């Protein structure tokens, strides 16, 4: 994965260090490995960010930041990936995880209407919590593994492509040098 691409699309380190919800991490945010763009920190960050995006709680970015600190991953990448879930993508994603959980438990999927209210959380969630939690947990683990190994694969493919380009460039330079002699 090209570093230029990642630097362009990840949050600024200074803005993350001063973010009001991340201040509790203190000087841990100043660790160099949190800001490095290399194969292992980016792959770990992809796994952490994708895992945290499936956790149905507010402040997923804080969870991703804590995960990056604990597992020595790139903080901006892990935080940026959490934003895959947003008010538009959450309903279909979490309905999918509910259906996965219902399938695994052998339950017929029920149609339900989501409401962002305390009443729905106490009544509606009680009806679907088992398949929802199972499906969300399973999908979070599977997609984070895919993200980890996918990031490693993409990074390696980029390296192989770059090496091939350098070899071709050396051949061209060698041919030009031979012609000049």
pLDDT at position 25 over 60:
yes
Q: Which tokens go with 151? A: 């990031």
| pLDDT value of position 21 | 66
Q: Which range among 46-50, 69-73, 138-142 shows the weakest confidence by mean pLDDT?
A: 69-73
Greater pLDDT, 60 or 143 = 143
Q: Which range among 35-44, 110-119, 158-167 shows the weakest confidence by mean pLDDT?
A: 110-119
113 exposure class (CB count in 10 Å sphere: 0-12, 13-18, 19+): exposed
Reported pTM: 0.77
| pLDDT value of position 126 | 75
- Tens digits of per-residue pLDDT, 119-145? 766 777 777 888 989 999 999 999 999
Q: Which range among 7-11, 110-114, 177-181 shows the weakest confidence by mean pLDDT?
A: 7-11
52 exposure class (CB count in 10 Å sphere: 0-12, 13-18, 19+): buried
- Tens digits of per-residue pLDDT, 77-129? 998 999 999 888 888 898 899 999 999 998 887 776 666 566 766 777 777 88
pLDDT at position 1 over 60:
no
Mean pLDDT score of the chain? 84
| pLDDT value of position 94 | 87
Give which of 143, 144, 159 is closest to 73, Cα–Cα.
Answer: 144
- Tens digits of per-residue pLDDT, 138-161? 999 999 999 999 999 999 998 899
| pLDDT value of position 178 | 82
Instruction: Summarize the confidence of residues 28-52 as an average pLDDT.
Output: 88
Q: Which tokens go with 55? A: 């956790």
Half-sphere CA count of 88, side-chain side, radius 13 A: 2
């Amino acid at each position: 994965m090209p570093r230029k691409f990642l630097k362009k699309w990840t949050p600024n380190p200074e803005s993350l260090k001063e973010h009001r919800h991340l201040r509790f991490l203190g000087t841990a945010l100043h660790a160099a490995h949190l800001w490095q763009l290399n194969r292992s920190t980016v792959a770990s960050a992809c796994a952490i960010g994708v895992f945290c995006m499936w956790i149905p709680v507010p402040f997923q970015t804080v969870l991703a930041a804590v995960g990056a600190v604990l597992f020595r991953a790139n903080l901006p990448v892990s935080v940026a990936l959490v934003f895959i879930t947003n008010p538009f993508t959450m309903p279909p994603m979490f309905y999918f995880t509910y259906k996965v959980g219902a399938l695994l438990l052998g339950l017929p999927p029920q149609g339900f209407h989501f409401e962002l209210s305390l009443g729905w959380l106490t009544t509606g969630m009680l009806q679907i919590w088992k398949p929802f939690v199972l499906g969300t947990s399973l999908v979070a683990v599977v997609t984070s593994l895919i993200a980890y190994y996918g990031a490693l694969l993409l990074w390696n493919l980029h390296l192989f492509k770059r090496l091939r380009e350098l070899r071709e460039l050396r051949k061209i330079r060698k041919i030009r040098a031979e012609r000049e002699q």
